[in-house]
Structures are given as C-alpha cells and as structure tokens.
Chains A and B, each alone.
Chain A
C-alpha cells in the first residue's frame, strides 16, 4: 500500500474577492459611450428635434413665395431647396422613428447605435445643402455643424465623436471646394453677390474662412469630448460604487440571516434540555438547581426572542429588494390579528385593551405591516402598569391614508430620549427597569417597516403618563 504522504491531494484556491458579492450590471456598460438602451431613448429624442428643423425649413421655403422680401431684407429666398430638403429629412425621420420603434419592441438596443450614425450622416448631408444655399463662406451657417459635433461627444466615444467632427469637416470642405471650382452653381442668401464674388476672388480669405471654421470645430470637439469622457467615467465610477454598496448591503442581510439561523439551533437544544430537567424527566431536582435552571430558561427565552427579532430585521431588509409581495391590505384585519396575538400577554398582565376599528385599507407587505402593529401593541401592553388600559383606534383618514393610534398609560418615555427610541438595541433605563426581557429591536423593526412603506409615525409621550403612537398609512391607491 502506498504511503499516505504520496497519495494525491485535491486542491482549492481561495478567490481574493467573493464571486457573487457584486450584483452584475444588467447593462453592458462601456466607459467610452452611453449604454445602448440610453442611446435608443435619444434616437427618439433626435427624431422629435428633427421635426422642428423640418418645420423651420418648410417655413423658410414658404418665405420664397414672397419675392418682396428680397427688396426689404436684401435676402434671396428660394422655394425649392428648403422644401426639398425638408421633405427628404421628413421621410428619413419617419424611417428612423419606425426603426426605433421596432428596436424598442424587439428589445434589441444594439441597433440604436447604427440608427444614430445614419441620422448623423443624413443630417450632415442635409446641413451641407443648407450651408451651400445660405452661404458657406459669407455667413456663419457653417457653425451649425457644431450641434452634431457636441451631441456626438455626449453620446459616443472620443474616437467616434472625432469621426463625426471629421465627417463634418469633409462635407464642408467638399462644399467649399466645389463652389470655388465652379462645379456647384452659385448660391447664397444675399441678394447682392458682390461679397461672395470678392471672397472667391481672394484665395486667402477662402482659406482663412474655411480653416477658422475647422479649427473652431476641432477645438470644440476636443473640449467637449474631454469633458464628456470625464463625466462618463465619473458616472461609471458612481454606478460601480452603487453596485458595490447594494451588494454589500445584500451580503450583510444574508450574513445576518444566516448567523441568526445558526444561533437559533443551539438555543433550541439548550431550551429543550432545560425543560427536560424542569419537567422532571431526569428525576427530582434540588430547589436551588430548579432556580438555576429557571434562570437559564429565562435567559434562553430572551436570547431566542432577540435572535428572532434580528431575523425579522434582516428579513425586512432583504425583502426591500423586491416589491413583488406588495398587495392591497385590510388594515383593520391586520389590527385584529395583532390584537388577538397580544391578548394572552394583556390578560397575563391584567391590561385592558380597548379598540375602535373602522374599516380601512392600505397597501404593503402584509407580514411586515403585521410585524409593525404587533410590536407597537406588545410594547403598549408591556410598558403599561398592571391593571392599566391600552387604546387602539383605526380611522379611514379623510382624503389621505388611514390613521392608527396606539396609546398606553404606562411608564412613558422622557422627552430627551424620544429621538433615540427607534435606534437598534436602544433601551431607556426606565424600560429596562420595567421589563428586563426587552431586546431593544422592536422599535427598530417598526422603523424599518415604516421606512419601506412610507408610514409616518408620530410619538407623543411623557414619563409616568404614557405613550401614544400615531401612524399615518398610505392609502390603498398609493404606495411607498
């Protein structure tokens, strides 16, 4: 037989980071550009803006029906080119919109990028036509290309936005070159061609005008793309941090749930064995032994209750991730259930619980709302003095959500301690003196449920007088 030392061993390498600690982003997000679903939203937005451009072009073309404008403004407005350009843009826009709707229905955002690029090319071409007819060198219309360059910087990567800037330069230079070479017929808005003619006859002016336009575009591209990249990177970092925080929170809740479950098991065994002794299954015990066992049983009970409340808190936090358990609730029914649960405790302490419950509805997670009500009712009973009285009222709430009031006439809470009562594990000295079994988690659970359900809580209390909790729930139509 081979010696033990030479037997093959299995191996496992501990990963440095937990594999599932970070929830994966559902959107493939590149730092360089906006994610595809966001691009798809902007495809539709561009199409809406283009309708405005189409309308403006059409109006401009209609001005060509008034030749007297030439005399009044010194401008030569043609009918045909603005109308033709408007029609072409409108038809293209319809095509872009139809494609965008198909993409949205099919859930295929990768087509959004192609749609946007096509829009940009068509726009640049149409803009070049406008630039030619308005006046490529003698007016400032060429700076309209900046709209597309800046938008490209916002939506695309630096390289892609440079591509748009380069395309704009090519279109513009081609237009100017063809005009100067005489291959494109003379155009321009000015009725008097003298300025145009002067410019074309002076090559230096042509070069200077064209070059300054290009330099301005490229400088704007540089700054806009740089700033846009910085903003996108920052957005990406924030998104990453947010995902890590969400993952950490989930991990914390999961850890708390697991730890609490693991702690419950040994206490169940201790509880069972202590009761085995106390109920005489192991023979009669000396009085002192019985007293000691009762103390052990009491501590076990408290610890079990504490673990149970930790589980509840973790359960609420864990289920915040989903709203699938939200339903329309009968608040009166939840109150009746809570009252029946607390009745044995009230009888044991000789506390009379009076209630006036009107029909009321809200919405939320039924288990959590019941947890909230039961905790408040239990506290009202526990912190009442013997032979005391607890009042519970539920009113529908005129115009707003239902209002529940839970009032006791017990030990009360000193004013300076009121702001802290919802903190985890916080207990006033008076509370501990009155009830050693208190875990300090009950009102933390109430706070958590109230936060997730948008329940407003007002506490009114005075030491030695009693405490009143006033809860305003959301109406059945609204939700938190």
Chain B
C-alpha cells in the first residue's frame, strides 16, 4: 500500500483517479493548488505524485512545481512524479521519453489525457516499484 498525492484542480478527474487507486488499496490525497503542495509533501512525503500541467491562472504551474521538487536535494527530489499531459502521442507533437530531463520535462513519466485507467494503473505500479528501489539504494548508500 502506497501513499499517493494527486495534484489537479479538476475535482471530477482527481476523484475518479482516487477511486481507482483506493480500490487498489493505496492511500490517496488530493490537492487542488500547487502553492500548498511543497508544504504538504515536506510534512509527509508521498510515494508518488500524480501532477497535472495546467492550473488556473498559470498554464505551467505543474512544470514549475515539478522543477522545484527536482531541484530539492533532499528527499523531495527522489519522489516519482507522473505528469498528466493534454497532448496525444498518436500525433507526434506530444511528449516523448526523450523529452524527460530535469529542466525541460522534470518528471519521471507522463500519461496522456484522456487517461486510460489501465494505463494509469500500470504506470503507477511501475513508478512505485522504481521509487521503492531508489529508497533502498539510498539507504544502502548511507
């Protein structure tokens, strides 16, 4: 069972994801505003963050939050981030894996809207496994 934070201002979408993740026995919290996320995840770091790109008033708030987390050299930088994107890889103007880097696309993985729930679950599982392995490696290194 993992603790997952969903950061998305779309309550309907966030609740749908939360239901699926809860049914898979994960603990889920939803946060609608990016300004509160860092404080919350500093208090209790999640095992995974599912993060939307666009938020009201700032079309790149998701990117900025992800970048802030990546540039944190403490534990926040290790938290896997799954980004929800609005473009579709069927048409080649979407993101691809080669776009993932700490500055341009500072996330661990992305999933395209409209989100296929099966794809979402498989990506969540893969990222949670990766996250767990990273923590193990970090603890061994210490």
A-side interface residues toward B, CB under 8 Å?
A: 261, 264-273, 275-276, 279, 281-282, 300, 304, 308, 311-312, 315, 337, 341, 366-367, 370-371, 374
Contact = CB atoms under 8 A, between A and B. Distances in A.
B41 interface: no
Contacts of B16: 269, 272-273, 275-276
A324 to B, nearest CB: 15
B8 to A, nearest CB: 10
Contact of B92 (A282, A308, A371): A371
Contacts of B19: 276, 281-282
Nearest to A275: B117
A311 B93 CA distance: 10
A422 to B, nearest CB: 18
Contacts of A315: 93
A268 B93 contact: no
A237 to B, nearest CB: 37
B86 A276 contact: no
A366 B92 contact: yes
A367 B96 CA distance: 12
Interface centre among A270, A272, A315, A366 (most CB of B within 10 A): A272
Given A269-B10, A341-B90, A276 B20 contact: yes
Q: Name the 10 nearest CB pairs between A and B, nearest first.
A: A271-B114, A272-B16, A269-B12, A268-B113, A269-B13, A268-B114, A367-B92, A370-B92, A273-B16, A276-B16
Q: Is the interface of B mostly helix, strand, loop or mixed?
A: loop
B91 A261 contact: no
Q: Is the interface of A mostly helix, strand, loop or mixed?
A: helix
Contacts of B138: none
Contacts of A275: 16, 116-117
Contact of B88 (A270, A271, A276, A308): A308
Contacts of A276: 16, 19-20, 117
15 contacts: A261-B86, A265-B86, A267-B114, A268-B10, A268-B13, A272-B17, A273-B16, A275-B116, A275-B117, A281-B23, A282-B19, A315-B93, A337-B92, A341-B90, A371-B91
B115 interface: yes
Interface in B20-53: 20, 23
Given A264-B86, A269-B12, A273-B12, A308 B117 contact: no
A445 B112 CA distance: 21
Interface residues of B, number: 22
A268 B54 CA distance: 13
B54 A261 contact: yes
B102 interface: no
Contacts of B10: 265, 268-269
A370 B96 CA distance: 15
B91 A374 contact: yes
A272 B87 contact: no
A257 to B, nearest CB: 11
B36 to A, nearest CB: 21
Contacts of A300: 114
Nearest to A337: B92
Given A272-B13, A276-B20, A281-B19, A304 B93 contact: no
Nearest to B114: A271
Interface string B76-103: 0000000010111011110000000000
B100 to A, nearest CB: 18
Contacts of B115: 268, 271-272
Nearest to A375: B91
A389 B13 CA distance: 41
B91 A272 contact: no
A279 B24 CA distance: 13
Contacts of B23: 281
Given A268-B13, A311-B87, A371-B91, 6 more contacts: A264-B86, A264-B113, A266-B12, A269-B13, A282-B19, A308-B90
Nearest to A371: B91
B113 A308 contact: no
A300 B116 CA distance: 13
Nearest to B87: A311
B137 to A, nearest CB: 34
A281 B120 CA distance: 15
A75 to B, nearest CB: 77
A279 B16 CA distance: 12
B20 A312 contact: no
Contacts of A341: 90
Nearest to B93: A367
Nearest to B24: A281
Interface string B111-132: 0011111000000000000000
B127 to A, nearest CB: 19
A118 B20 CA distance: 81
